[in-house]
Amino acid sequence: MSLLAVEGLTVRDQAGRALVDDVSFAVAAGDRAGLIGESGSGKSLTALAVTGLLPPGLSATGDIRLDGVDMIRAPEKQRTAARGPVAAIVFQEPLTALDPLMTAGRQIAGPLRRLHGLRGAALRSAIGEALAEVRLTDAERIARSYPHELSGGQRQRVAIAMALACRPRLLIADEPTTALDVTVQAEILDLLDRLVATRGTALLFITHDLPVAARVTRDTHVLRDGRIVESGPIADVIARPEHPYTRTLVDSARRFDAALERTGRD
Ligand SMILES: Nc1ncnc2c1ncn2[C@@H]1O[C@H](COP(=O)(O)OP(=O)(O)OP(=O)(O)O)[C@@H](O)[C@H]1O
């Protein structure tokens, strides 16, 4: 059984408009899948539906099983129970996940206390470990800092530490590097790549950026206007894009690459 199985997921707004339309995909334990598509294609709504966190006014039909739990029809209590230990989300903007009034240490402590029952010295040492794992040096200062006292890259590392602290089996990363500058982007991608590899965490990586998807995912699904237009191993999708929209994505990534190369030579 897949850790995450999505079958015929449709998300509608109050007017009945399908924002996500008949989407199906699966992520096996330890696997890495990508959802690629331009802004507005339905990537974030798919991620929110998977975790049972759709905004009010939107409704989902179809079937979503997260570690066997029906994330559309199960009672809220069961869905919440599946969320923490099974799946955690990292968002594009770390401030979405971080409470501005709480120090980084207290935020990471939250799930460790709730889900693992840690207290006192054990809790403090788990927070230190979580910060060290995301390569945040000077962990004590960071733990005492509020989000606004940290850089964008440090904030995203704290958000990743928080998401991974309780060892979820699936990490959903929704454009986790889009808001960061290019060098920090590369560091955060390397970090995610290493963390999911060493722990065997499954990854659902959401991005509009094909080269970024190629770096961290294995199977990919291309979304356009709420529908999956192409699926397959990322290397095949890039080498032999079948859908005209995928071809546009590949061509524009190639043009960008060629422009970079030219700039490098100048
Ligand atoms: N709460 C909402 N109510 C109504 N429509 C919404 C809501 N949230 C998103 N939408 C619409 O649903 C569609 C898909 O949005 P979604 O956020 O999933 O796209 P996305 O691919 O993640 O884009 P981005 O990368 O810009 O976040 C868009 O047309 C968006 O305007």
- The answer to the question of residue 127 being in a domain is no
Pull the structure tokens for residue 16.
């009945």
- The answer to the question of residue 160 being in a domain is no
The range of the structural domain enclosing residue 250 comes to 4-93+171-265
The alpha carbon of 18 and the centre of ligand 1 are apart by a number of angstroms equal to 11
Q: Report how far residue 177's alpha carbon sits from residue 195's, in angstroms, rounded to the nearest whole number.
A: 15
Residue predicted with more confidence, 21 or 162: 21
ipTM: 0.95
The alpha carbon of 58 and the centre of ligand 1 are apart by a number of angstroms equal to 11
Q: Which residue has the tokens 């990919």?
A: 220
Q: Report how far residue 115's alpha carbon sits from residue 75's, in angstroms, rounded to the nearest whole number.
A: 19
- Range ranked top by mean pLDDT from 58-67, 175-184, 211-220: 58-67
Going by pLDDT thresholds of 50, 70 and 90, the confidence category of residue 94 is confident
- The answer to the question of residue 108 being in a domain is no
Angle formed by the axes of helices 152-164 and 104-116, nearest 10°: 10
- Residue among 20, 43, 245 whose CB has most ligand 1 atoms within 8 A, to mutate: 43
Q: Report how far residue 21's alpha carbon sits from residue 62's, in angstroms, rounded to the nearest whole number.
A: 10
CB atoms within 10 A of CB 134: 24
Q: Report how far residue 207's alpha carbon sits from residue 105's, in angstroms, rounded to the nearest whole number.
A: 29
* Torsion angles phi and psi, residue 8, rounded to 5: 55, 40
What is the pTM (predicted TM-score) of this model?
Answer: 0.91
- Residue among 10, 14, 17, 45 whose CB has most ligand 1 atoms within 8 A, to mutate: 45
- Residue among 9, 11, 17, 19 whose CB has most ligand 1 atoms within 8 A, to mutate: 19
pLDDT of residue 67: 93
DSSP state of 134: T
State the DSSP H helix or E strand holding residue 112, giving kind and residue range, or none if neither: helix 104-116
The alpha carbon of 59 and the centre of ligand 1 are apart by a number of angstroms equal to 13
The alpha carbon of 225 and the centre of ligand 1 are apart by a number of angstroms equal to 10
- The answer to the question of residue 257 being in a domain is yes
pLDDT of residue 35: 97
pLDDT of residue 92: 84
The residue-averaged pLDDT of 210-218 equals 91
- As for how many domains the chain has, the answer is 1
The residue-averaged pLDDT of 19-27 equals 98
Residue 66 has pLDDT above 90, yes or no: yes
The alpha carbon of 30 and the centre of ligand 1 are apart by a number of angstroms equal to 28
If you take atom 17 of ligand 1, which residue's CA is the nearest one?
A: 44
- Enumerate residues lining ligand 1, CB below 6 A: 13, 19, 37, 39-45, 55, 57-58, 208
- The answer to the question of residue 154 being in a domain is no
Q: Report how far residue 225's alpha carbon sits from residue 235's, in angstroms, rounded to the nearest whole number.
A: 23
- The answer to the question of residue 76 being in a domain is yes
* Nearest CA-CA partner of 150 in 184, 123, 174, 183: 184
- The answer to the question of residue 109 being in a domain is no
Q: Which residue has the tokens 């995912």?
A: 217
Q: For residue 76, what is the domain's CATH number?
A: 3.40.50.300
The alpha carbon of 84 and the centre of ligand 1 are apart by a number of angstroms equal to 24
The alpha carbon of 126 and the centre of ligand 1 are apart by a number of angstroms equal to 36
Pull the structure tokens for residue 82.
């599946």
If you take atom 16 of ligand 1, which residue's CA is the nearest one?
A: 42
State the DSSP H helix or E strand holding residue 8, giving kind and residue range, or none if neither: strand 4-12
